[in-house]
């Protein structure tokens, strides 16, 4: 039995014991009163849904609020806790297409790391997501977070943290390569904030798995920089 197999079994067991809050699904929230209109859609997993902290302090609202300094933002969050890339394609993409977004934040990858999803399968699903979003708005700007460093949560058994980190890097190499090839923007949250989470366990929620408000706050500069880059 390989360590990778053990990682998958362990992570599925952990995920089953963590009760994630549901996102504010498809609720339309507006930010800003000046500037051009901008339709902003957030897609992905529990990180996009704000599990571990307050929704108002999560990455969806925080990035929308930042965009509201320059645009009249209409933000819709279709993210669902536990989603993998394939679930985004199957269950979230149609809603996003209907909104014809100007900017999309896709925060997904962590569950693909822990479930050992094949890279080729992830890539195919990601390409479908991008293709269909561009079909409804060829000018759409898409920002990918990839996976956070899944070797950092205290909930991960110590013996498996090394392989979880290696798996994170492999998954994120795919995201980064696809971003370069398809002219998307990759926001390197694992590389930029992983060391912070490893050194400061107070950045995790009580479940010892998801970031808390302070943890998500460390992502915000990385995400706002990436979104700003996408809009140039």
pLDDT, tens only, 105-127: 999 999 999 999 999 999 999 99
List of residues 6+ apart from 202 with CB closer than 8 A: 212, 214
The overall longest dimension of the chain from CA atoms, in Å, is 58
pLDDT at 27: 72
CA distance 40 to 36: 13
pLDDT for residue 1: 44
Query: Helix count (H) and strand count (E) of the chain?
Result: 10, 6
Alpha-carbon span 65 to 83, nearest angstrom: 24
Give the phi and the psi of residue 148 in degrees, each rounded to 5: -65, 170
Total residues belonging to the chain? 232
Task: Spell out the domain ranges in the chain.
Answer: 3-231
What's the CA gap between 54 and 62, in Å, rounded? 11
* Helix locations, 21-118, DSSP H: 46-49, 59-67, 85-87, 93-99, 110-114
Query: Residues 63, 99: contact at Cβ < 8 Å?
Result: no
With tokens 């996976």, the residue in question is 147
Tokens 């980190």 belong to residue: 165
Query: Which residues, 6 or more positions from 93, have their beta carbon under 8 angstroms from its beta carbon?
Result: 43, 128, 129, 132, 133
What's the CA dihedral at 38, 70, 78, 95 to 10 degrees? 0
pLDDT at 26: 61
In CATH, what class is 3-231? alpha beta
pTM value is 0.92
Cα–Cα distance list, 227 to 3, 67, 117, 222, 232 (Å):
36, 9, 27, 9, 9
Tokens coding 6? 């053990």
Contacts of 4-7 with CB under 8 Å at 24 or more apart are 4/116, 4/163, 4/167, 5/116, 6/160, 7/114, 7/116, 7/160, 7/163, 7/164, 7/167
> Radius of gyration (Cα) for the chain, nearest Å?
17
Query: For each of the chain's 232 residues, which pLDDT tens digit applies?
Result: 455 555 555 555 555 445 444 444 567 899 999 999 999 999 999 999 999 999 999 999 999 999 999 999 999 999 999 999 999 999 999 999 999 999 999 999 999 999 999 999 999 999 999 999 999 999 999 999 999 999 999 999 999 999 999 999 999 999 999 999 999 999 999 999 999 999 999 999 999 999 999 999 999 999 999 999 999 9
């Amino acid at each position: 039995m390989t360590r990778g197999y053990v990682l998958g079994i362990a992570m599925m067991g952990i995920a089953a014991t963590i009760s994630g809050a549901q996102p504010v699904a498809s609720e339309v929230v507006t930010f800003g009163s000046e500037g051009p209109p901008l339709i902003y859609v957030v897609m992905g997993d529990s990180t996009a849904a704000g599990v571990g902290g307050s929704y108002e302090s999560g990455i969806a609202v925080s990035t929308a609020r930042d965009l509201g300094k320059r645009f009249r933002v209409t933000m819709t969050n279709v993210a669902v806790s536990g989603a993998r890339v394939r679930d985004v394609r199957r269950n979230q993409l149609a809603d996003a297409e209907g909104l014809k977004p100007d900017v999309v934040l896709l925060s997904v990858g962590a569950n693909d790391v822990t479930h050992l999803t094949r890279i080729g399968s992830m890539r195919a699903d990601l390409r479908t997501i991008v293709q269909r979003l561009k079909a409804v708005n060829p000018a759409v700007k898409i920002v990918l977070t990839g996976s956070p460093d899944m070797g950092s949560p205290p909930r991960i058994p110590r013996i498996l943290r090394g392989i979880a980190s290696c798996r994170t890097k492999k998954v994120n190499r795919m995201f980064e390569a696809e971003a370069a090839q398809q002219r998307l923007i990759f926001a390197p949250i694992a590389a930029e904030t992983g060391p912070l989470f490893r050194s400061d366990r107070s950045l995790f929620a009580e479940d010892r798995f998801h970031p808390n408000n302070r943890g998500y706050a460390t992502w915000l500069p990385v995400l706002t920089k990436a979104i700003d880059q996408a809009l140039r």
